[in-house]
Amino acid sequence: MTIQLLKKNTGTDTDMENFRKNLRGHRLRVFAFWAGVLALVLVAAATFWANYKNKVYSDYEVVNSYERSDTVTTQYTEFLDYVLKYSQDGISCVDSRNQLVWSQTYSMQSPMVAVCGNSAAIAEESGTEAMIFDESGLLGSVQTSYPIRQIEVSSQGVLAALLEDGDITRLYLYDSAGTTLVEAKFELQDTGYPLCMSLSEDATKLAVTFLQIQDGSVNTCIAFYNFDSVGENSSDHLVASRIIKGEILPSVHYLGSSHCCIVGTDSLLFYEGSQIPEESVEITLEKEILSVFSSDDYLGLVTEGEEETYALQVYNSHGTLACEMEFDLDYSTIKFSGDMILIYNDYDCVIANHSGKVIFETSFEESISNLYTMSGNTRYIVMHASRTDQIRLR
């Protein structure tokens, strides 16, 4: 019997190696192809989005119109996807079709409103009554022992109220049901006179500016209070303070839960901190501030313009300049609404995006009492004296 020894088939091994190389090459080519397709899709999407956001519109059409019958003293403010209408007799929440969502009666000679996220509050200035709401209606009410000077509300419905008591200013925090959570007092001779306060979105921090007059000079004290565990061991929950000499800082804005902006006569200060705020940016102001407005993410300042009547600067919560623009409209209202900036008076309006690009301007035939964004860049609600119009830009 003959036994044959079989040799290793080197040709087959070479073929397999070539096959593997070709397979890897094929996979790389397929990957490169689809990566290229994805890149083109992303570039096309980014280009489309940029063109959409910056598209300029020249006209509008009324999509829907609804009758309304408010008194001449009715005031308005945006709340989630609704509008709050309030007067001396009561407050109501309506949708974009002017349909009633909820209402609450009261008697307030000078009502003032605060809105943050999912909650809203109303109180009588120099009165003793306050109410807290969410999108379903009344959550709770508060009856104070001293006149109310200012209110703030958090997204969860926590109410902060500054109360006048002669030379003492009292601070109270209430939960959404109206139960007292925190109370503190500021004596004029120690802290100065409170100018403004702002409550963080999560209700854990409060910023207050106090006007102080010492030896004939005017100073401002910035005070930060923490109502979380960090502030429990601090006197009156005070965790940080700073004296700004020779300057008045009358405007304070919490942008979210951990960023705060303070506007003065000469400077713009940004603070950051989830527990104890620290100064992150200081900007010197060269011109007088004519208007200040804010949203959850941005702060807007209006000053005198160089080439046009007014100049607008928008800063994000980190103190970075997001955009700037100039405009001539003699406005009565300027505000953030959705992703847009709305500038208007009784008949005229200018709509710009957060890049400072004016996408639409017009003059209405009838006077307008309120204007706000409905959805996207093209749909808006225009409130006239006798009706509410839904319009679409074109």
How would DSSP label each residue in 165-211? ETTEEEEEEE-TTS-EEEEEEEEHHHH-EEEEEEE-TTSSEEEEEEE
Closest CA to 224 of 240, 248, 242, 204: 240
User: Quick one: how far is CA 172 from the chain centroid?
Assistant: 24
Specify the pLDDT at position 50: 56
Q: Is 230 exposed, middle or buried (0-12, 13-18, 19+ CB in 10 A)?
A: middle
| 284 token code pair | 């010197």
Under-50 pLDDT residues of the chain: 1-6
Specify the pLDDT at position 360: 96
Any bridge partners for residue 73, and if so which?
A: none
Q: Which helix (H) or strand (E) holds 104?
A: strand 100-105
Q: How far from each other are the two terminal CA atoms of the chain, in whole angstroms?
A: 96
| 258 token code pair | 């951990």
Specify the pLDDT at position 3: 45
Specify the pLDDT at position 2: 47
Pairing between strand 119-124 and 111-116?
antiparallel
Specify the pLDDT at position 309: 97
Closest CA to 185 of 201, 161, 212: 161
Specify the pLDDT at position 97: 84
Q: Do 299 and 255 touch, CB atoms closer than 8 A?
A: yes
- Cα angle: 146, vertex 152, 157; to 5 degrees: 105
Specify the pLDDT at position 256: 92
Specify the pLDDT at position 169: 94
For 365, residues 6+ apart whose C-beta sits below 8 A from its C-beta are none
Strands (E), 339-378: 340-344, 348-353, 358-363, 368-375
Residue ranges of alpha helices (H) inside the chain are 10-54, 188-191
For 152, residues 6+ apart whose C-beta sits below 8 A from its C-beta are 114, 116, 121, 159, 160, 197, 198, 199, 206
Closest CA to 76 of 281, 335, 258: 335
Please name the residue that has the structure tokens 């509410």.
388
How many angstroms separate the CA atoms of 295 and 316, rounded?
Answer: 10
How many angstroms separate the CA atoms of 135 and 94, rounded?
Answer: 10
Residue 274 phi/psi, 5° resolution?
-75, -20
Specify the pLDDT at position 274: 92
Specify the pLDDT at position 5: 46
For 230, residues 6+ apart whose C-beta sits below 8 A from its C-beta are 239, 275, 276
77 CB neighbour count, 10 Å cutoff? 18
Q: Which amino acid is at 115?
A: V
How many angstroms separate the CA atoms of 182 and 194, rounded?
Answer: 18
Q: How far is CA 227 from CA 4, 105, 206, 279, 317, in A?
A: 91, 32, 8, 20, 22
Closest CA to 363 of 388, 332, 329: 329
Q: What is the chain's alpha carbon radius of gyration, rounded to the nearest angstrom?
A: 29
Q: Which amino acid is at 226?
A: N
Specify the pLDDT at position 347: 96
| 159 token code pair | 């109410």
